[in-house]
Structure 1
């Protein structure tokens, strides 16, 4: 095949700039407009609660999300684990400090002393999730052991018996998913809202 014949076949093969541009525009419309629109509508219809961020409402007001930790300043509430992101869902992050880092050890030591004083227990007995941050920085869950440490303080601050608070804690303890995935956990927001409901 000589050069002239090759050029003629290439010109007739439909290759070139315009088909590439047309395919690019088509893919932009499909992947950038149609697919997101369909996914958004389908998600809203099939999973309306999750599509709205798993928001929790009480008395017509949004009080938080089941997926995002938030701080509770009042002693009447269970406290979540510390947040490296300042409980800001737009700034998800862990501390990114290695366990050998002196800064991390210093912070954990200080936090352990503060939490131990708040709960009236020895610092050595604290579950690790009361003084360490999660990978996301806004994990809404605590281990049952970390929640159990706070029962006496919450009961005292609310004028409740410890066994009443423990009963709510057990009711709001989620077990392993499908019996094997993850660890038992407690959603702090849901537990605190149940406490408020109990005292209405």
Structure 2
């Protein structure tokens, strides 16, 4: 067998290996993972969408911006709906983390402004420290959670705006407070969107 024949055989085997691995890793593996996801975790695999009367009202994984007194406020969001559009020309949401240095005067002034806004909107908490997650942006800019302390800070304001008792508000917050992963990893956190949907009677 000459060198040319050997080279041709190697190329053929390499091509067959390429096709085989493409089928295994690009098709079979992908379909298997997708199928298992739909079978074992259908909600998570489809975006953890929250629906009311057949209409999608949000995702448990993505924050939404609430600014009225009758709702729980989430983390600061860097939110833009004016730059991009979808295939139908409708505004497409885009979020990003802040690129300001935490040590910069601009960032310090921005946080101070947010603190004053929170204090003005929550006068019953006068003199109390403002929870840090209410005045800082998350890495994604779309974090759906806040700390239990940040939720508790807002209870009196929400109770006054909705006419519900503070205990009712706290119970709603408790229902949508998630614990540590496997009881060990992370910290307890409150899903802002779920709490607000429940306050509106859209989630039970």
Q: Which runs of 5+ in 2 are unaligned?
A: 82-90
Counterpart check, 1:97 vs 2:100: yes
What SS is found at the alignment partner of 1:182? coil
Change (3 A) 1:115 1:195: same
Equivalence for 2:118: 115
Deviation at 1:179, TM superposition (A): 2.8
Deviations 1:102-134 (A, max 9, x none): 222222111111222122244861000000111
Normalized per residue, the structure richer in strand is 2
User: 2:139 and 2:33 mapped to 1: Cα distance?
Assistant: 28
User: 2:200 and 2:94 mapped to 1: Cα distance?
Assistant: 29
Deviation at 1:25, TM superposition (A): 2.6
What SS is found at the alignment partner of 2:57? strand
Q: Which runs of 5+ in 1 are unaligned?
A: 1-6
Counterpart check, 1:177 vs 2:165: no
Q: Which is greater in Rg?
A: 1
Query: What does 1:28-43 correspond to in 2, within 5 Å?
Result: 28-43=22-37
Deviation at 1:167, TM superposition (A): 2.4
User: 2:136 and 2:92 mapped to 1: Cα distance?
Assistant: 18
Q: How much is the aligned-residue C-alpha RMSD, in angstroms? A: 2.9
Q: TM-score, normalised by structure 2?
A: 0.81
Query: What does 1:23-102 correspond to in 2, within 5 Å?
Result: 23-86=17-80, 91=94, 93-102=96-105
How many residue pairs get aligned? The number is 194
- Alpha-carbon contact 1:151-1:166 (below 8 Å) kept: yes
